[in-house]
Amino acid sequence: MFITPAFAQATDSAASPFGSGFEMIILFVPLMVVWYFLLIRPQRAQAKKRDEALKAIRRGDQVVTSGGLVGKVTKVIDEREIEVEIADGVRVRIVRTGVSEIRVKGEPVKADAA
């Protein structure tokens, strides 16, 4: 068997192969900071933007539901539900969170403008 001098050196059997606990913390903290700025923070900003867009839905907006139906908002029922016309005379009630995209913003209604 071929053993180089680097592998043949005797090691302390009580030493951890990962180092001390303090060294682990020093490596873990920067990793968490990078994780926060690259993943968590942008995702929160995106979720906040989506919530604001869903709250701003008004009559006349063209929306796409999470099921893929495209329709026009005919009535805002309350803060949780809207009524969408998906075909001539076919209106469905959906939950606001069921809207995946707002395509065309409608004009403000007189009641909304006041």
* DSSP state, residue 40: I
* Per-residue pLDDT tens digits for 29-78: 889 999 999 999 999 999 999 999 999 899 988 999 999 999 999 999 98
Which residue, 50, 63, 58, is CA-closest to 75? 58
The pLDDT assigned to 104 comes to 77
Give residue-wise pLDDT tens across range 101-113: 898 776 655 555 4
- Of 3.30.160, 1.10.1060, 1.10.3470, 2.30.30, which CATH number belongs to 58-113? 2.30.30
Amino acid 7: pLDDT:
56
Among left, alpha and beta (phi > 0; psi -120 to 50; other), residue 22 is alpha
pLDDT digits (tens, 9 = 90+) for 14-29: 556 666 777 778 888 8
pTM for the whole thing? 0.61
Q: What is the DSSP letter of 94?
A: E
User: Beta-carbon neighbour count of residue 71 at 10 Å?
Assistant: 21
pLDDT of residue 8: 56
SS3 6: helix
